[in-house]
Amino acid sequence: MHMKIYILLLTCMVVYACGKSSAPMGEDSTDEVPTPEEEAVTFTFDALERVGYFDAGLKFTVVAGHKNIRSRGVVYSTKENPTKSDEMSLAVSTTGSGSFEVGLDKLLEGKTYYVRPFAEKTSGTIFYGDQVTFETVSYPKPTVYLDSLTFLNQQTFETYWKMFYPWGTDHNGSARMYEDQVSLDGAGVLKIRADRTEVWEGYSTADPWLRIFYHSGAIHAKQQILVNDEKPYWVVSGDFQVPTMVGSWPAFWISGAWTWPPEIDIMEFKGNNTNWQNTVTGPNWQNTSWQTTKTVVENAGSWHNYKLIMYKTSATHVAAELYIDGQKKATHTGDFIGKPFWLIINMQMEGASGGHASGPQSTEMQARNIYLAAYDVIP
């Protein structure tokens, strides 16, 4: 009886062992089904929809391998065959599972870019398409008439600037302009000083014909400003430290070279810390229209930048964008096409700034980094 049980157990063990595996000793075995190879993603390039100085838009279509795509877009570089280790931009819009658009920004102007579409599957596999190229638009180069070097020394100053107003030494305040009130510090800074005088010097020869109480200074650029088809876009800017007490009237402005108006005041302080940016239009000095933007400038006695961008908008009119420290404060308009301007820096006194016959004993304004440039096209 015991012998029969032993034989039965031995038989069962042999049957079980043979049924569990038929693989040779030492080889691994598995019941997993092999994963099929992922279908490759392929693309077509559809269009370069836009290209500018610093941006571009492109359109592609996924034509095969649509399944399990979790992201798509492009990689790009100024070097050939970019990958995801270079710059990347994801699709901004998709149509179904096929076409998609991308937008590229912060590009460099006038550069060739290499672009490849890509798609990433949920598995993490990345597929790239064929490379395409485009070139950003080259930013127009300006003709620079004035820069920071024009105040460096007397020789460069005299090359680009003249003393006084274009029409003489007097204007609409109580100051008369003298050469010795204008100086250079040798490091690119111009200084204009106004000093009170009690010596009788008569009256200003300009309206409103105030009694002269000050010796001060004014300069104007030899280069005139003229917006036309040949030079439709102009930039005028400068850094200034100015006084703001009652009786002080510093200004950085352009005035009509043939008639008045036109006029644009880029920087004008009238006895306080409010900057006036004015544009004057009209058929003659008796019939004028003013556009005025006032901005309080904290600590105007420190350096601040004042800028005008003027460009052609029609056969007769311009837009005049006015800035302080890089922030646009206003856009004025004027019928200034074909009308030349003088660029003027001056320290007038009293008049519209108050303090008639009782202004400060002396005061000073400083200027640097005066910039005047024109473009052949509108950027």
Map out the domains of the chain with their CATH numbers: 42-135 (2.60.40.10), 143-375 (2.60.120.200)
Run of H or E including 335: none
What pLDDT was estimated at residue 247? 97
Give the tokens for residue 90: 């994801």
**Is 110 in contact with 122 (CB distance < 8 Å)?**
no
Q: Mean pLDDT, to the nearest integer, of 313-339?
A: 98
Please identify which of the residues 27, 80, 198, 268 carries the catalytic annotation: 268
Instruction: Give the residue carrying structure tokens 């127009």.
Output: 140
pTM for this model (two decimals): 0.77
Please identify which of the residues 27, 80, 263, 364 carries the catalytic annotation: 263
The least confident of 32-41, 75-84, 186-195, 265-274 is 32-41
Is the pLDDT reported for residue 123 higher than 90? yes
| pLDDT above 70: percentage of residues in the chain | 91
CA dihedral 187, 192, 197, 201 (to 10 degrees): 130
What pLDDT was estimated at residue 249? 98
pLDDT, one tens digit per residue, over 33-84 is 444 578 999 999 999 999 999 999 999 999 999 899 999 999 999 999 999 9
The least confident of 64-73, 170-179, 181-190, 257-266 is 64-73
* Best CA proximity match to 76, nearest among 50, 58, 94, 93: 58
- Can 263 be counted among the known catalytic residues? yes
pLDDT, one tens digit per residue, over 8-20 is 333 333 333 333 3
Is the pLDDT reported for residue 213 higher than 90? yes
SS3 content of the chain, % helix, strand, coil (to 5): 10, 50, 40
Instruction: Collect contacts of 279-282 with beta carbons under 8 A, ≥24 apart.
Output: 279/320, 279/332, 279/333, 279/334, 281/334, 281/335, 281/336
pLDDT, one tens digit per residue, over 157-171 is 999 999 999 999 999
**What Rg do the C-alpha atoms of the chain give, in angstroms?**
37
Is the pLDDT reported for residue 1 higher than 80? no
Q: Mean pLDDT, to the nearest integer, of 110-122?
A: 96
Run of H or E including 352: none
* Rounded-to-integer distance, Cα 139 and Cα 328, Å: 21
What pLDDT was estimated at residue 263? 98
- Can 268 be counted among the known catalytic residues? yes
Concatenate the DSSP letters of all residues of 35-82 into one string: PPPPPPPEEEEEEEEEE-SS-EEEEEEEEE--TTEEEEEEEEESSSS-
What pLDDT was estimated at residue 94? 84
Q: Mean pLDDT, to the nearest integer, of 95-106?
A: 89
